[in-house]
Amino acid sequence: MDELPDLSRLSVAEKDQLIRDLWSWVRRLTVQVTTLQAKGDELAARLAQNSRNSSKPPSSDGLAKPQPKSLRKGGERPSGGQEGHGGHTLKKVAVADHIETHLPPSHCDDCGAVLAEPTVVESRQVFDLPRLGFEVTEHPVLASRCACGRISRGTFPADVVAPVQYGPAALAAVVHLTHQHMMPVQRTAALMGDFFGLPMAQGTVLAASEEAAVRLAPTVAWMGEAIQTAEVAHADETGMRVAGKLHWMHALVTAMLTWVGCHEKRGKRAFDALGILPGFLGTLIHDGWKPYRDLRCKHGLCNVHHLRELTYLFEELQQAWAGRLIELLVAACHEVNQAGGSLPVERVALLRNRYTEILSEGEVLNPQAEKSGKRGRTR
């Protein structure tokens, strides 16, 4: 309809039809506006997603890092160390390694008389590192000639294989720095020179890591077997660069063990190659990613991911049930930590009923989407 017709020339029936057409058009327009508003709200909410309220990694936040927000209620515990915590405050030792005595003057500053034998009136202790350096151990091999003419000689220790070499403690230090503290090889080599006066080539650091990998292979294999038979294990993976290409660092963790492996793939192919998860039959705690869900084991979803996604629903979509569920999950976790283990059956049942009740409210506001008929998972 380009322009309004001359109403004076329309019959009553034509005017009624015009009103019906306009009403139908307004209804269609209202539906379109409502749909567009909903899509706009959804896009705005998705733009508000970050590592604090979703499963997005911190690296995706860019320079606008979200401010961390504690889920702990104010007044529950005072700031600082809690009662019973030992702390790390320096305490005097009974016997010091070195003593530097500070004598008073030999004569009185007022009258000039000779002072009596001084006594200790106060003592303070300074904890510091000794002068860092290295020690060189020489291994001479001696020989003796028998009267029969045979020469007998001593032998070098099995690990002394070159005219000059680094010792096991130095090599263990560079492996610890590069693997436990994630220091780059170049910086590790430089640090050995800066701290100990024992600079190393980067190739030496790499060779030490390779030797450590061989020596520790049986230990790593045992750890994998122990995790595979554990009742509960936690799994996750994160991207990392290897020779400039994207690889994945896979981590499997129990209360006592942490197993880490690297693979160029993220999902099933990596699981099969690393050889632990396919045989795991306990309860695996993970983030709900499909390759984990396809494993034969029992499953438990990571509560941290629950809290992030509930934070998004509560703060961005203004769904009050999500806030109540956050409080319930945090409180339940606190109860378990305080108890040091499982809660009584009656208490678990009460928490589960409250959980189901709150979750039902969320399902009303977020109904399951109907199948779209297209391939793949329904959004």
| pLDDT tens-digit series, residues 238-261 | 998 888 899 999 999 999 999 999
Residues 283 and 302: their CA atoms lie apart, in Å, by 12
| Chain mean pLDDT for the chain | 87
First-to-final CA distance of the chain: 38
> Tell me, what's the pLDDT at 171?
95
> Tell me, what's the pLDDT at 72?
63
pLDDT class for 217, splitting at 50, 70, 90? very high
Hey, which of 1-15, 33-47, 249-263 has the most confident mean pLDDT?
249-263
Residue 85 pLDDT > 70: no
pLDDT class for 266, splitting at 50, 70, 90? very high
Q: Which residues, including other chains, have CB under 8 Å from residue 267's CB and lie 6 or more apart?
A: 289, 290, 291
What Å distances lie between residue 300 and 146, 168, 201, 248, 309, CA to CA? 75, 43, 46, 22, 16
Least Cα distance to 242 among 267, 261, 216 occurs for 261
Q: Which residues, including other chains, have CB under 8 Å from residue 93's CB and lie 6 or more apart?
A: 125
Residues 248 and 270: their CA atoms lie apart, in Å, by 9
Residue 185 pLDDT > 70: yes
Residues 202 and 371: their CA atoms lie apart, in Å, by 57
Do 107 and 113 contact (CB within 8 A), yes or no?
Answer: yes
> Tell me, what's the pLDDT at 41?
73
Number of residues assigned to the chain:
379
**What token pair was written down for 102?**
């500070």
> Tell me, what's the pLDDT at 74?
59
Q: Which residues, including other chains, have CB under 8 Å from residue 23's CB and lie 6 or more apart?
A: none
Hey, which of 7-21, 119-133, 142-156 has the most confident mean pLDDT?
142-156
> Tell me, what's the pLDDT at 39?
81
Residues 296 and 249: their CA atoms lie apart, in Å, by 22
> Tell me, what's the pLDDT at 12?
82
> Tell me, what's the pLDDT at 20?
86
**What token pair was written down for 79?**
């700031």
pLDDT single digits (tens) 49-62: 776 666 666 666 66
Residue 1 pLDDT > 60: no
**What token pair was written down for 281?**
């039959």
Residue 370 pLDDT > 60: yes
> Tell me, what's the pLDDT at 235?
95
Lowest average pLDDT, out of 10-14, 41-45, 178-182, 338-342, goes to 41-45
Do 249 and 262 contact (CB within 8 A), yes or no?
Answer: yes
DSSP state of 279: G
Residue 379 pLDDT > 60: no
Least Cα distance to 123 among 100, 107, 106 occurs for 100
Residue 201 pLDDT > 90: yes
Least Cα distance to 253 among 212, 292, 290, 284 occurs for 284
Least Cα distance to 314 among 40, 134, 69 occurs for 69
Query: Which ranges of 140-184 does DSSP label H, i.e. alpha helix?
Result: 168-175
Lowest average pLDDT, out of 133-142, 153-162, 207-216, 336-345, goes to 336-345
Lowest average pLDDT, out of 24-33, 76-85, 287-296, goes to 76-85
> Tell me, what's the pLDDT at 58?
66
> Tell me, what's the pLDDT at 71?
62
Q: Is the dihedral of CA 280, 282, 286, 290 positive or negative?
A: positive
**What token pair was written down for 180?**
């436990």
Residue 3 pLDDT > 90: no
User: At residue 246, what are phi and psi to the nearest 5 degrees?
Assistant: -70, 125
> Tell me, what's the pLDDT at 38?
77
Residue 319 pLDDT > 70: yes
> Tell me, what's the pLDDT at 220?
92
Residues 202 and 184: their CA atoms lie apart, in Å, by 10
Residue 82 pLDDT > 90: no
> Tell me, what's the pLDDT at 53?
66
Cβ atoms within 10 Å, residue 271: 22
* Residues of the chain above pLDDT 70, percent: 86
Rounded to the nearest 10 degrees, what angle do helices 320-339 and 345-365 cross at? 160
> Tell me, what's the pLDDT at 250?
95
Task: Give the helix/strand (H/E) hosting 151.
Answer: strand 151-153
pLDDT class for 207, splitting at 50, 70, 90? very high
Do 260 and 249 contact (CB within 8 A), yes or no?
Answer: yes
